[in-house]
Amino acid sequence: MDISLGYYKGINCYYLENELLRLAVAPERGAKILSLLYKPQNFEVFFQPVDGTYPLAEYGADFARYDTSGADEMFPTIDACNYPYEGYSKVSLPDHGELWSLPWTVIEDQEALMTEIKGVALPYIFSRSITLCENILHCKYKVYNAGNQPLYGLWAFHGLVACDEWTTIILPDVKDVITVHNSKALGSVGTRHSFPSTIDQTGEQYSLQWIAPKSAGKTEKFYVDGSLLQGEAALTLNQGQLLYKVLFPVHKVPYLGVWCNEGGFKGEYNCALEPATGYYDSLEIANEQQSIQPLQPQETMEWYLDIELTPWPKTENNGLDKKR
């Protein structure tokens, strides 16, 4: 693996590259993963900004006002909320968390791209190291409680991939999901559905494992109902030719959200598998669900996320029946 400095669409970045993968990361833009190129298919995995630019955000800004592309880290919340636990009660936490809108510090290392950032609203140090090993992007995470009170934080990976009408959502051992925003197709927040196939609000059969065309003009977000049995989820990309798989330790990252932007948000077309340490989307909801364990003072939590890219033999629907 080679690490080098460079530019990507006009901004400073670090490149990581091996024979199969080429990765671009921008520490000054929240350590965003700008690009992940799968070289054997010359395919850009992550959704790219429509106007080709990366405006520099201010802390606490509305995430939707900036480029909704690439992969960002979300911590200590996803939705903006007030910290609901004792110790830092009522501290305001911004939209999509603190990490995406702040510059990260690069730590010198010959074997990995290591970056870290100190919390603003809460006392923590969040770090991530990235390495490439053949067809796998390997991210190692640490969060350290630098305060004198127990710390509750929700992490989720916000990796927006370039989907298409062949994209299939593959969730091993998942039987039920719950919708987490109001949907004409899937009903109000909290509505449960069977996976991979359910009945929509009109009484019609509805496949949850296929991405609708961009012309659908809608968005959907659902979570696996409760804790996962396996730390694994996947998507097919590049017109059914590539398998994008995320792998993570389910005992530390037990939840998974799925975001589908089928032309309904900013007219964009992408989707995301979002492994998460809390259930779901904000610390306030996670508190109600009692889904997060606190990090004690001076304690560190560690976990990982692997993104594995492999060729996917394109057959007619790969044996999957497309219902919509």
> pLDDT per residue over 3-33, tens digit each?
999 999 999 999 999 999 999 999 999 999 9
Tell me which residue has tokens 């802390």.
Answer: 59
Using DSSP, state whether 85 is helix, strand or coil.
coil
Look up residue 174 and give its two tokens. Answer: 């998942």
Q: How far apart are CA 280 and CA 260, in angstroms?
A: 16
In this structure, is residue 28 part of a structural domain? yes
Tell me which residue has tokens 């305001």.
Answer: 92
Relative to beta strand 169-170, strand 21-26 is: unpaired
The C-alpha R_g of the chain, in whole angstroms, comes to 19
Distances (CA, A) of 282 to 36, 79, 87, 153: 28, 5, 18, 9
Does the global pTM surpass 0.75? yes
* Tally of domains in the chain: 1
For 304, counting Cβ atoms within 10 Å of its Cβ (0-12 exposed, 13-18 middle, 19+ buried), the class is: middle
Q: Are 45 and 57 in contact (CB under 8 A)?
A: no
Using DSSP, state whether 230 is helix, strand or coil.
coil
Question: What is the residue range of 141's domain?
Answer: 2-319
Amino acid at 125: I
Beta bridge partners of 221: 259
Q: Are 297 and 87 in contact (CB under 8 A)?
A: no
pLDDT of residue 314: 64
In this structure, is residue 37 part of a structural domain? yes
In this structure, is residue 79 part of a structural domain? yes
In this structure, is residue 324 part of a structural domain? no
In this structure, is residue 94 part of a structural domain? yes
Distances (CA, A) of 74 to 35, 95, 153, 229, 244: 18, 9, 10, 23, 20
Q: How far apart are CA 206 and CA 218, in angstroms?
A: 14
Count CB neighbours of 315 within 10 A: 9
> pLDDT per residue over 114-154, tens digit each?
999 999 999 999 999 999 999 999 999 999 999 999 999 99
Count CB neighbours of 75 within 10 A: 23
Q: What is the CATH number of the domain that holds 43?
A: 2.70.98.10
Count CB neighbours of 201 within 10 A: 13
In this structure, is residue 257 part of a structural domain? yes
pLDDT tens track, the chain, 324 positions: 999 999 999 999 999 999 999 999 999 999 999 999 999 999 999 999 999 999 999 999 999 999 999 999 999 999 999 999 999 998 999 999 999 999 999 998 889 999 999 999 999 999 999 999 999 999 999 999 999 999 999 999 999 999 999 999 999 999 999 999 999 999 999 999 999 999 999 999 999 999 999 999 999 999 999 999 999 999 999 999 999 999 999 999 999 999 999 999 999 999 999 999 999 999 999 999 999 999 999 999 999 999 999 999 865 455 444 444
